[in-house]
Amino acid sequence: MITQTSKKPDIQLRKGQIVKGKWHRHHYHVVKKLGSGAIGSVYLCVHENKQVALKISKQSASVSSEVNVLKSFQAVQGYHLGPSLIDVDDYQAHNGFTYSFYVMEYISGESLHDFMRRNGHEWLVSLLIKFANDLHVLHQQGYVFGDLKIENLIVSRKPVQLRWVDVGGTTLQGRAIKEYTEFYDRAYWQCGSRKADPGYDLFALAMVILRVYYPNGFTKGTNPKKTLQQKINQAVTIEPLRKLLLMLINNSITEAEQIKDYLLNYFIHQKSKRDKRRQHQKAKSSHEALYPFLEIGSILTIGGACYLYVTFFM
C-alpha cells in the first residue's frame, strides 16, 4: 500500500505511451523526450493531431510555480515571452503515484549553435535585438529569467527569432537565484551576486553569446574577469558585439532595453551603409550601360561634322 509519506520516484515516459489527464481527460501521445532538468522532464507529444510540449514532474509545487509564470507571461498583451500554456493536469501513473504536468506550445526550430553554423555570426545582432526587447518586457513584469543558457533557447523558424523554451529558473526580482548553470552564473565568474535583478540576466546573455564562439566553454582561471575579457577579444570579430560583451561583463549596461537600442543603432547604421553602396553601384552601372551609346553618339557626331566639311568645302 502506498502512503502519503512514501517517497515518490522520478517518472520516465516512453515513446508511444499515452498520458491521460486525471481531471480534464485529455490524451497526449508521447513521441520523444526533449530534455530534462532539476524540476522535471519535457516530452514532445501529439494531441488532436497537433505537436505540443509536455512537462511532467514529481514536484507539484514547482510545476504550479512554472504554470503561474506562464500565465503571467500570457497576460502581457502583444508579446510572446514564452511558450503558450495549453493545459494543466495530473497524471495517475501505473506505480500508483500522481504526477503533475502542464502542456505548452511546441516551438519548432533549431539550436542557436546549429543556426549560427548555417547562417554565420552576423545573424546574432538581429536575433539579439528582438530577444533583448523580450527580456526588457520580462523585467518590467518583475521577473528575472534566472537560468538563461544556450540549452534553454531555440531559434524558431516562422518567424526567425530567438525564444526561450524553459521557464523553470524564472524568479521574482529581489529573491535569490536557486536554479542556475555555472558557466552562465554571474557569481561563479565573480562579477556580481546571485540576487535576481536584470543585471543577472544580462550577464548570462553575454555568456550565451560567448558560448556561440566557444561551444565547449572554457575555465575561469585565477582571474575570472580577465579571462572573460581575453576570450571576448580573441574570438568576437564583430566590433559592436565585442564592445557590447565587454560592457555587459563590466556591468556598464543595467537594462535590456539598452542592449536593444545599442544594437538597433548599429543595425540601422549598417543598413544605411549598404543602401549607399547599392545606390553608388547602381549609378555606376547606369553610367557604364550608357557608355557604348555615348561612344556611338560621339562617333556619329564626328562623322557628321566630317561629312559637312567634305560637302561644302572640298
Q: DSSP character for 184?
A: G
**Which amino acid, one-letter code, is at 110?**
E
**Is residue 230 within 8 Å of 273, Cβ to Cβ?**
no
Q: Determine the Cα–Cα distance for residues 170 and 177; give it in Å rounded to an integer.
A: 9
- One DSSP character per residue, 233-279 reads HHH--SHHHHHHHHHHHTT----HHHHHHHHHHHHHHHHHHHHHHHH
Q: DSSP character for 173?
A: T
Beta bridge mates, 101: 56, 89
Query: Which sequence positions are flagged as catalytic?
Result: 147
Q: DSSP character for 176?
A: B
Q: What is the largest CA-CA distance in the chain?
A: 128
3-state secondary structure of 255: coil
**Which amino acid, one-letter code, is at 111?**
S
Cell 536557486 appears where? 178
Cell of 176: 535569490
**Is residue 282 within 8 Å of 275, Cβ to Cβ?**
no
Pairing of strands 27-36, 41-47: antiparallel
